[in-house]
Structure 1
Amino acid sequence: MTDVITIPATTPLAQKAAADGVRFILATFVDMNGKPCAKLVPIEALDELEAGALGFAGFAAGAIGQRPQDPDICVIPDPDSYANLDFIKPGLAMVQCDPYVNGEPWPFAPRVILKNVLETLRGKGMTAMVGAEIEYFLLARDADGSIHTADTRDSSGQPCYDARGVTRMFEHLATTSKAMNDLGWGNYANDHEDGNGQFEQNFTFADALTTADRVITLRYIISMVAEAQGMTATFMPKPFSNRSGNGMHLHLSLWSESGDSLFPAEGDAHGLGLSSTAYSFIAGILDHAPALQAFIAPSVNSYKRSGARTTTSGATWSPRVADFGGNDRTHFIRVPDGNRIELRGGDGSANPYLAIAAALTAGLHGISRGANPGAPNGPGIPGDAATPLPPTLLHAVEALRTSELLAEAFGPAVTAYYADVKEEEFLTWHNTVTPWEIDRYLTAF
């Protein structure tokens, strides 16, 4: 039997760890690509962690605005993000952290960027509530590197909501569901999505920062649970050309400091149950949609999803233009009811901190201008005058480079660095000769 280690519980994080018998904490932050970076910290070193004494070589961690010669990134844990992961490894917990350099919040850190945007929101007397839909595939990988659906019986042409497919993946889904409920997140649904091997798991909406933290933690949980069961979980937007892709739809609403929702209204001109504030928020997102895509659809592969022509099931579920409508899943922004809007342009590769920060920034700009999105589009009818979404990551980066709004909100150096990282990602892919090119061109001329 493992000896119980007794550490004085003098801080909220220490108290939570002591109550759960935690022996190690994954002190975690993400780079701009959303990669979870962590150190495994023994509970005996919790004081050092909370004091910001543990350093990371930022350049080695990933895209987070550092060069090899820069000072260490040190992290400060947020006890509100604490998650007991005892079901993955006995005695393990995770906490999301804010990166600092030389004692100051690091401006390139995604969590810091979102917190800055939320501070701006608070300065206007508002808070943001966000829900996130997490879609992913459960796959197996062959020795030659090829992938296939982990459940070999999952081969129906229209597998969405199939009770048998859900049941065959019961252990994975139930383990993840229980973890979310044990953490107090309120898991309320787990279903088979539109693609073979694709699933979605949902938790109750919360304040913007909490939801972003939970997305990072849940991706980790899903991945680890899948690995323990001999599978690979992927949030990649489009792992199969003939199947639907992985979205990360965001449900957004603004609230007053007194706790009243600012979105619902009765008798509005467009009949969607929204206030003028909500319509202006929508207009801001639509106006900045091309640049916004660089954050909510931030990978080369994202544009295989948003540009898809067809799928086996008959629908791509991915918008191609920046429009909005009622309870209709064909639009960039869906309005399921008067309490919230659903931003459907984002995918599984999105960094939740940056995606939410960019969406809120665009929406607030619409509110500040009293912008009007015009009339909503009808069911299945894209707006003829709607702005087309970028066809590639490079187009999205070009839109981002011209966005004065996002440069001001995130900082010019931050947006320029992020744009450079994403442009390099595109060019690296573009410079890679693919099997498609060999098949098409090898003997074509």
Structure 2
Amino acid sequence: MEQRIKTATKKGTGRSTPTDIEKFVDAPGRKELVAQVRKKIDELGIEYLYLQFVSVTGRIMGKGIPADHWESIAKKGFQLVYGATMNLFLNRRGDYLGYGPEAAELVGIPEPETFMQLPWDKRVARLWCTLFRNREERVDPGAFLTADARGNLRRIHDQFKKDHGLQLRHGTEPEMMWLKKDESGQPNGGYSNPYCYHIDQFESLRPVYMRVIEYCRKMGLDMIQGDHEDSPGQLELNFTYDDALRTADRLATYRQICAQVAREFGIIACFMCKPFMGVSANGCHHNISLWRGGKEETKTLGNDAKKLPGMPQNYVYATGGDNTFMPDTDDIQLPGKIGLQAIGGIVKHLGGLTAIGCSTVNSYRRLWDTGFWAPVFSDWGFQNRTTGLRVSAPGRFEYRAVDAMVNPHLMAAGILKAMDDGLKNNLNPGPSEERNIYQAMEAGKQVKKLPMTLGDALAALEKDDVIRSAMPGEMYRLYDEYKRDEWERFLHTVTEWDLRTYMDCLP
């Protein structure tokens, strides 16, 4: 059942306290933002709007409306079946995942500050939305919908800031592969050869990545570097780290951009974790730091500052302040006290976090394929790629047990909850491991391994109250149901490996 929030409807319906949805729509300054969006619509010639949110798996869902109806939809929102948060998919028994057809409809309210023109079709713009329970529900009408991954992250981060006075800023390393198509439209190998950091292979994908970068800068992503990785057609293009919610939103936007560019070039943008064995997987390391203070800076990113293709909030980045992960002793490899406590929380909860960061059956092919520095041990070290967590540079650490299929909003929420536990309970991660973890284990060190299947990871998540709290209300039930169904589908499937191994095993 949804988390019960003591709210009620406006005067005239028997209640006097405004609901969450009413407080959201009537928030100070929102009316002026709605009017500014209308000016943008008229200025840019926008004809159509995508109203979008993130499903439990990170898929972007929503509705489209003609721009003529902006003011009405900004106030009333749109309705969509609750099951849209579960991609409206069926389980292996043929029933809808999460919510049945008898369930009510959610209400999505667009966030005007997220208005952004699509650079590949300038007649269309998108807005992110916050989700609510239906206004007519008998229980908690108009309350925040806890199946809303974005909304949950915002509220969890706000509480973290209130409790600790700290802001999570993080950046991601979104590896993905550009694949060719065969005559039937199916994947037919990588667009380039698997040569890591090879400029010639990077150059072979230049028309593709330059189009991606062009669209990214239009949509507020401050692109900073890129390279060819060591799998067929594999690129990593990075954008500047920022506040947790904005980074998660930008990673989702980056995926949308790659999908569009793939359509334009007639190729495949592959975010599957491990499409090929024997070469590196598509990881998505999260580089994390906690900050006190700072300011918001607007970056126009080559766009006309007087005629931005979106609301200015899309181009805002958190800058300055005090990075609490910086060393506070003479040992420049050792994080400060807050950093150590945060690491302690994450190391303690790596098992449960793995169910979010490695969210598919295929994710564990990455952990089992040896020789590619995949993170499989619950330990930490400075610049040590054999541990699940490494201090990648003074002032930040890299969470490694996460891949390209991750729901970035759930991942950030899980990391916040793990660090919250570390800070509140002064968790000590133990000494930094400077050795290759395999050599350390040969020398007798006892190290806990990460879950090595999706089933084991889900079991670890079930036992971890702290990480489950990153999925409040309905969210944990929905995530667990969706992913257990995925695991069961795999277990009851006959694969090519089964046929090759057992077809002729007896005379």
Distance 1:10 1:399, change over 3 A: closer
Contact 1:28–1:94 at 8 Å: present in 2 too?
A: yes
- Larger C-alpha radius of gyration, 1 or 2? 2
| 1:140 matched to 2:164 | no
Task: Note the C-alpha offset of 1:391.
Answer: 0.7
Q: Is 1:396 matched up with 2:445?
A: no
1:261 aligns with 2:323: yes
SS at match of 1:322: coil
Counterpart among 54, 67, 86 of residue 30 in structure 1:
54
Match of 1:284 in 2: 345
Q: Does 1:17 align with 2:28?
A: no
Cα distance 1:295–1:16, how it changes in 2: closer, same or farther (>3 A)?
Answer: farther
Unmatched runs of 5 consecutive residues or more in structure 1 = 1-7, 310-314
Question: Does residue 59 in structure 1 map to residue 98 in structure 2?
Answer: no
| Structure 1 position 45 matched with structure 2 position 69 | yes
Q: What are the residue-to-residue correspondences of 1:345-424 with 2, within 5 Å?
A: 345-382=401-438, 384-411=445-472, 413-424=474-485
- Report the Cα offset of residue 172 of structure 1: 1.1
Deviations 1:71-119 (A, max 9, x none): 2122122234333212x22312222211112222110111122112102
Unaligned runs of 5+ in 2: 1-31, 89-97, 135-141, 295-320
Amino acid corresponding to residue 399 of structure 2 in structure 1? L
Q: How many residues align?
A: 427
Task: Letter of the 2:79 partner, please give it.
Answer: G
Question: Which residue identity lines up with residue 142 of structure 1 in the other structure?
Answer: D
Residue 100, structure 1, aligned to residue 132, structure 2? yes
Instruction: Give the TM-score of the pair, scaled to structure 1.
Output: 0.90
* Residue correspondence of structure 1 range 162-241 to structure 2 within 5 A: 162-241=198-277
Conserved in 2, the CA contact under 8 Å of 1:401 and 1:416?
no
Q: Counterpart in 2 of 1:149?
A: 189
Residues 1:229 and 1:409: Cα distance change in structure 2 (over 3 Å): closer
Q: Classify the secondary structure of the residue corresponding to 1:136.
A: strand
Aligned residue for 2:266, secondary structure, equals coil
The 3-state SS of whatever aligns with 2:174 is strand
Q: Is the CA contact (8 Å cut-off) linking 1:358 and 1:406 kept in structure 2? A: yes
CA distance in 2 between partners of 1:423 and 1:26 (Å): 31
8 A Cα contact 1:60 1:68, kept in partner: no
Q: What's 1:332 paired with?
A: 388
Match of 1:79 among 108, 112, 115: 112
Q: 3-state SS of the aligned residue for 1:13?
A: helix
By how many angstroms is 1:60 displaced?
A: 4.6
Cα distance in 2 for residues equivalent to 1:385 and 1:14 = 61
Conserved? CA contact 2:329–2:336, under 8 Å: no
CA deviation string 1:206-258 (max 9, x = no partner): 10000011111110001111111000101110011222111111111111246
In 2, Cα distance between the equivalents of 1:306 and 1:298? 12
Whole-angstrom distance in 1 between the partners of 2:486 and 2:34: 45
- Which one is further off, 135-144 or 98-107? 135-144
Letter in 1 for 2:460: A
Conserved? CA contact 1:63–1:421, under 8 Å: no
Deviation at 1:58, TM superposition (A): 2.6
Q: Is the 8 A contact 1:263 1:339 kept in 2?
A: yes
Q: CA RMSD in A?
A: 2.1
Instruction: Work out the CA distance in 2 between the residues paired with 1:96 and 1:373.
Output: 37
Are the aligned partners of 1:150 and 1:231 in contact in 2 as well (CA < 8 Å)? no
In the alignment, is residue 122 of structure 1 matched against residue 161 of structure 2? yes
Which consecutive segments of 4 or more residues in structure 1 shift more than 6 A? none
Displacement of 1:150: 4.6
Equivalent position amino acid for 1:303 in 2: Y
CA distance in 1, matches of 2:87, 2:446: 36
Structure 1 residue 264 displacement after superposition: 0.9
8 Å contact kept, 1:191–1:200: yes
TM-score w.r.t. the length of structure 2 is 0.80
User: Are 2:273 and 1:248 aligned?
Assistant: no
CA pair 140-190 structure 1, distance change in 2 beyond 3 A: same
